[in-house]
Structure 1
Amino acid sequence: MEAANTENNLAAQIDRPHVILSSRRRWAVTAGVLLGMFLAALEATVVGAAMPTIIASLGGMDRYSWVVSAYLLTATVTVPIWGKLSDIYGRRPLYLAGIATFLLGSALSGASQTMTQLITFRAVQGLGAGALVPLSLTINGDIFTPQERTRIQGLFSGMWGLASIIGPLAGGFITDNFSWHWVFYINIPFGLAAAIIVGLALVEPKRAEPPVVDYAGAAWLTFSITALLIGLIESAHPEMWTSPLMIISGISFILFGILFIRAEKRAIEPIVPLSLFRNRMVAVGSITSFLTGTAMFGSITFVPLLVQGVWGGTATEAGSALTPFLLGWVGMAIVGGKLMLKVGYRSTVLTGLAIMAVSFVILSSFDIHTPRWLLLANLGLMGSGMGMVMLALLITIQSSVERQVLGVATSLQQFSRSIGGAVGVAIMGAVLTISLMSHRQDIQRETHLPEAEVEKIVHNISDLMRPETRAKMPPEALGPLAEGLSDALQNAFIVGAFFAGLGLLSGFWLPSFRATASSKAVKEAAEMASSSKECERMLMAEMTTIDAENEPAAIEPKADANRRG
């Protein structure tokens, strides 16, 4: 009798959401958080297409990678902080604070007059972006039952996929037809609408038993990675290699890294649980995610430079060049779930890593004479490899750990990829700058211009990015300068190919299922992910960093309960 009552109570809890709202309020909240998620997803890809034009307007080619790395860093390390604070103070105030921070960063980014200002304000924007996606999913989990949540998740993942695909196209169109400033300003009306809707419609119960927040871990990690990024980006200037700044950056990276590890060992709820790395699947999978992140963000960041700076294309053309990458990612991720059932996860991951490595090698051979269709085909191939790798890794990592740490292990994969992206973009940016500086003598030899004039042209290489300034450049300098940028981008893409190759090598250290999880559990997870609805849900999980507590899982509680029963 007692067992029956307990089962009935559990069933009642499952059938009731944590936050009970009227139907009208619930759908209003859903619309508001969907709009917020659309903004976050759009921002992840829309700026890339506008970056060459931004560089042409503000200058600071040697700071190009900072605009991406600063945003990625703050958006990544603040995700668990927003999640924990929302457990203490409620979802609504933290969601509104996240949107306010994001919109403040957007407005200031759009008003930037220098690259230093833009980098700073992009970091502010990233602070707010760290709240939008995870808290959107958390609110979704609060106001819907588990059964309803599965259906609603299709809306969220569809919105994420749509925004990711149209982002580059929108960024290019806005830049060409209005101004690059509006790439940031466009967030403001939609963000305000989302904030008003959620602020008025979402009513929550009071919170109890607040969780412990790992502030120290987040702070030491931010300081350590920031010091590393400063060192990597400043290394683009050879005269800085022995400067006090480089020495301080190196020491700070090591010191803060040690403090981060010590903090994580002592933290009750660490931002990066080090104990999970004893699981070989999680450890190797995180390394693979880190390395593939460098390649992924490198392509999104630097391909627009090839289209605009080398080929003389528009911002719209630069944005459309990234569309095959994102379409390949989405399409092959869906196929990858089914492919796992036939060939196994390891073969799927290794095939995807090999495709990525080959496509990056091909990308590193592109120059001023390469036809556009070949770039589009190669980026589609690269995106297909990424889709095969990331979804298969996500499913397998989830299947290799205990249920109680499933969310943490899953978020660790996206965390690793985002940090890898920030570091990889910084390294590729440094290589790009060094390569450009090394072409000064070649340009002078081919143009016969005075050394001072060549120096001026090289430092103003951003003039290549805009058709109007490109047309005013001396004809004898235009060709050699475009060739120099092409060669520099080839070197940057070679670095990307190197990281993709390391990712392929790391894939061979991935354990077999016998070493990590039962084949039954893995098959169950893969079968779930092979359905279109589940795959959409899992796809969004692996395309962004989500609060560990609310990570979508390949194995649902129902299946877990059946195993316990």
Structure 2
Amino acid sequence: MRRRWALGVAAAAVLLAAVDTYVIVLALPSIMADVGVGLERLQAGTPIISGFLLGYIVVMPVLGRLSDTYGRRPLLLLCLTLFAAGSLVTASAHDLGSAVAGRALQGLGGGGLVPVTLALVADLWPPGSRGIPLGIVGGVQELGSVLGPLYGGALLAVSTWRTIFWLNLPLAAVLAAGILAPFGAGARVTARARRAEGHDAVGGALATAAVVAGILAIVAPDPLRDDATLGTLFAPIGPASLTPLSVAAVAASLGFCAWEVRAHGRRPTLVSLPALRDLARRGDWAGSALLSFALAAVVVVFASGDPSREVLSPNALWALPAAAAAAAGFVLRERSARAPLIAMGDFRARAAYGSMLTNVAAGAALIAALVDVPIFARTTAFTDSQLGAALVLLRFLIGIPLGAVLGGFALRRAGNRMVAAVGLMVAAASLLAMTRWTATTLTTPLVAGWLHAADFELVAGGLGFGLAIAPLNDAMLGAVRPAVHGLGSALVVVARMVGMVVGISVLTAVGLHAFYTSTASLPSAQILCPRTPLRCPAFDALVQRAVLDELHTVFLGAAAAAAAGAVLALTLLGGRSGRHAPHRDE
């Protein structure tokens, strides 16, 4: 019973992070407006999405090894704390930098939950009994893509986008309380984790003071900030971010570090210095930094340009070569590191790297649908309804789990290669059909008054992406040793996230360039409506057409990405299900 409780709580934490991965797709326009970024600068707002995905990607391969050192429960609590802290920063953000930083912090916490939960399953279940619990963890990860936009749309219908992130705080607290409950005898508790359970009152007090002061400095509640006495704590000392509270938070943090160093070896401490030294020596931090830099450079190239003039920003002259060099350095580092993030030798099989490359292409196509279908709905049929746009996206999302189930059945008969390729070709055809959508597509019914032609294309697109899920995972699991099945499954997810980061950056920049190209030749509202230039339906219709041209460009690029994924699947994946394929070392 205790291990079921542990799995349930950890899986619920994974679901919370997965929902937060996709909740942003409807909230993005509102967030951008509140932090001072207009929709005409959509490419500048994409780091709000890609920042979360970057954090998710970078931390997933690292946290499993960290949990081997410190134990599963402490790392789950650390991940939830990071996720809650990121939610706090995001909810209180009033500028783009704060919103991106908050989302990146959320990604660091949320991404770590998956590998630690997979490791927890390995601790609590013997090798022959792990299939169902591992399936549960993978299932809730995929469920987040369906529930996230619906959850966000429902909250946006009754409140603001900030409520989404404020609610993460009590949810994370409840999950943390569940994690603190006993996990049972099967849960792994390392010697370092047992030593960490001693009491360090001074360290705890300093850490609490640093956290409380930091939170208050970030949130700056109006009742406290406007108080005649307490308001002095929020008064800037020079730069706007330098206040007595922020200084106190930094001082308490430094005091905590000094105390932990001084108390080491004399009394129980919250931080084990030998463990930190061991982690610094054994952890592949150089590999993590190279991967982070390579992906961040790609985001910068497309997010910092002026799409009215070019797709790539001037930074591309140095950022793209730097990204390529960092990616090459990452591969070389992983081949020589003593404890690499990814042991390249375990993933040399064609089906292993083929499943990852295919999922990169699928992720690039998927993120375009998740972000731009709601924007299309808000631009045309549901200009004043976030919930209406969410329900349009639901027609796409509902096909994903259905396709995943069908793909699981079909791969036994047709094999990984054919099922994944057919699924991605269906997705490509659906996205290609979206390039022909007009301003009335979502509101023009068929014979049945509630059914629209777009419904078939949306459901088919979701089914296509869903069909590819099981074959890609099965191809990976069949190509690697059982000892690295957990890492292999995580890397399939990481590959999709990488595709999402690159896809949202590239396709948004290309689409916005198409928008500005279309609007450059438009007559002004003063010419079309000289008497009422501020209310000019003719000009609004032309702008709407330009927005649709932008979205059509994005859908076309996404269709190309999905088609490329289908080609990769046909070329690189194995034929029949490889779940029981033999390995040389078995």
Q: What is the TM-score of this pair, normalised by structure 2?
A: 0.75
Summarize deviations over 1:420-475 as a string: whole Å, max 9, x none. 11001101110122122223334435762699x99xxxxxxxxxxxxxxxxx9654
Summarize deviations over 1:478-520 as a string: whole Å, max 9, x none. 222222211111111111112112222223313554xxxxx6x
**Residue 217 of structure 1: aligned partner:** 287
**Residue 143 of structure 1: aligned partner:** 124
Superposition RMSD in Å? 3.1
CA contact (8 A) 2:51 2:100 kept: yes
**Residue 368 of structure 1: aligned partner:** 439
1:206 aligns with 2:174: no
Task: Choose which of 46, 58, 62 in structure 1 pairs with 2:23.
Answer: 46
Matches within 5 A, 1:343-382: 343-372=414-443, 373-382=452-461
Larger Rg: 2
Q: Give the 3 Å change call, closer, same or farther, for CA 399–34 of structure 1 in structure 2.
A: closer
1:477 aligns with 2:548: no
Q: Distance in 2 between matches of 1:237 and 1:27?
A: 51
CA contact (8 A) 1:295 1:499 kept: yes
Q: Distance in 2 between matches of 1:242 and 1:353?
A: 28
SS in 1 for 2:340: coil
What is the letter of the counterpart of residue 382 of structure 1?
Answer: G
CA contact (8 A) 1:276 1:409 kept: no
Q: Give the 3 Å change call, closer, same or farther, for CA 331–321 of structure 1 in structure 2.
A: same
**Residue 396 of structure 1: aligned partner:** 475
Moved more, 78-87 or 476-485: 476-485
Q: Distance in 1 between matches of 2:401 and 2:284?
A: 34
1:337 aligns with 2:399: no
1:427 aligns with 2:506: yes
Summarize deviations over 1:224-278 as a string: whole Å, max 9, x none. 1101111123345365779763323123213322321221121133223333564
Task: Choose which of 102, 114, 134 in structure 1 pairs with 2:115.
Answer: 134
Moved more, 48-57 or 488-497: 48-57
Summarize deviations over 1:378-419 as a string: whole Å, max 9, x none. 121111111222211211232233334444443332222210
**Residue 567 of structure 2: aligned partner:** 505
TM-superposed CA distance for 1:198, in Å, is 1.0
The unaligned stretches of length 5 or more in structure 1 are 1-22, 455-471, 514-518, 526-554
CA contact (8 A) 2:431 2:559 kept: yes
Q: Give the 3 Å change call, closer, same or farther, for CA 425–236 of structure 1 in structure 2.
A: farther
Matches within 5 A, 1:32-431: 32-58=9-35, 59-61=37-39, 62=41, 63-146=44-127, 149-152=130-133, 156=137, 159-160=140-141, 162-202=143-183, 205-207=189-191, 212-237=282-307, 245-276=315-346, 278-313=348-383, 314-372=385-443, 373-431=452-510
Q: Distance in 1 between matches of 2:140 and 2:26?
A: 20
Q: Distance in 2 between matches of 1:260 and 1:345?
A: 29
CA contact (8 A) 2:25 2:370 kept: yes
CA contact (8 A) 2:23 2:149 kept: yes
Q: Distance in 2 between matches of 1:243 and 1:414?
A: 29
Higher relative contact order (CA 8 A, sep 6+): 1
TM-superposed CA distance for 1:160, in Å, is 4.5
SS in 2 for 1:299: helix
Q: Give the 3 Å change call, closer, same or farther, for CA 300–244 of structure 1 in structure 2.
A: closer
CA contact (8 A) 1:350 1:389 kept: yes
Summarize deviations over 1:95-137 as a string: whole Å, max 9, x none. 1111111111111111121233212211111111112232233
Indicate the structure with greater helix content.
1
Q: Give the 3 Å change call, closer, same or farther, for CA 66–310 of structure 1 in structure 2.
A: farther
Q: Give the 3 Å change call, closer, same or farther, for CA 26–272 of structure 1 in structure 2.
A: closer
CA contact (8 A) 2:310 2:513 kept: no
Moved more, 241-250 or 214-223: 241-250
Summarize deviations over 1:315-335 as a string: whole Å, max 9, x none. 112222222333211112112
Summarize deviations over 1:330-369 as a string: whole Å, max 9, x none. 1121122221222232221221121011111011222212
SS in 2 for 1:484: helix
TM-superposed CA distance for 1:189, in Å, is 0.7
TM-superposed CA distance for 1:371, in Å, is 2.6
SS in 2 for 1:78: helix
Q: Distance in 1 between matches of 2:313 and 2:440?
A: 40
CA contact (8 A) 1:349 1:392 kept: yes
Q: Distance in 2 between matches of 1:293 and 1:345?
A: 18
**Residue 534 of structure 1: aligned partner:** none
Q: Distance in 2 between matches of 1:86 and 1:355?
A: 40
SS in 1 for 2:571: coil
Q: Distance in 2 between matches of 1:406 and 1:158?
A: 16
SS in 1 for 2:432: helix
**Residue 460 of structure 1: aligned partner:** none
The unaligned stretches of length 5 or more in structure 2 are 193-274, 444-451
Q: Distance in 2 between matches of 1:413 and 1:152?
A: 18
What is the letter of the counterpart of residue 49 of structure 2?
Answer: V
CA contact (8 A) 2:90 2:165 kept: yes
SS in 2 for 1:508: helix
1:489 aligns with 2:517: no
Q: How many residues align?
A: 482
Q: Distance in 2 between matches of 1:216 and 1:506?
A: 30
CA contact (8 A) 2:352 2:475 kept: no
Q: Distance in 1 between matches of 2:312 and 2:550?
A: 24
TM-superposed CA distance for 1:145, in Å, is 4.5
SS in 1 for 2:189: coil
CA contact (8 A) 2:416 2:573 kept: no
What is the letter of the counterpart of residue 227 of structure 1?
Answer: A
